[in-house]
Copies of this chain bind each other. A is one copy, B any other.
Amino acid sequence: MTVGAGPTITSEITWLLHRAAQHMHVVTGLQAEKHGLQLRDHIILSAIHKTPGLTQVELAKTVSLDKTTLMSQLDRLERNGLILRRPDPHDRRVRIPEMTAAGEDIRARVAADSRVAEQDALRSFSGTDIESFRRMLIGMIGDSADPGSCL
């Protein structure tokens, strides 16, 4: 576990991963804030965009948030007119979070800016380096499924 630039405290790779993930969160969070969103808002909107039709419980699991925590986030997004909860005609228990046109508009803009910011953070590495980097990340995750919540 490295602090600053020193050698190992516990597990150097784990600590570096943590630092790098934190750094990228800050970077993409800044892009979201430029459009008046929090990083979490963008993560939620992105999940809805990627996999529409999920229930609130399924959405919570997808983004690794507690269901009650997700509720307050959805409340705020709904208040701001970025999503709405559509009742499912086939199951009156469920409310499907759905993006409004305004929500999709902001989501797309933040996504574009985030993509640029990410590529900027990786600009000093070659395409093959990035590809093997990606493969290693996937390999590390692959073993287990449950993410846990840290957002």
Contacts and interface: CB of A to CB of B under 8 A. Distances in A.
Interface of A: 1, 3-4, 6, 8-14, 16-28, 42-43, 46-47, 49-51, 62-64, 110-111, 114-115, 117-118, 121-122, 124-125, 129-130, 132-134, 136-141, 143-144, 146-148, 150-151
Nearest to A107: B10
Contacts of A143: 23, 121
Given A132-B132, A136-B133, A25 B20 contact: no
Task: Report the copy number of this chain in the oligomer.
Answer: 2
Contact of A25 (B130, B138, B150): B150
A133 to B, nearest CB: 5
A24 B19 contact: no
Given A14-B24, A21-B21, 15 more contacts: A3-B47, A9-B46, A10-B43, A10-B111, A11-B115, A13-B24, A13-B122, A17-B20, A17-B24, A17-B137, A19-B141, A20-B137, A20-B141, A26-B146, A125-B139
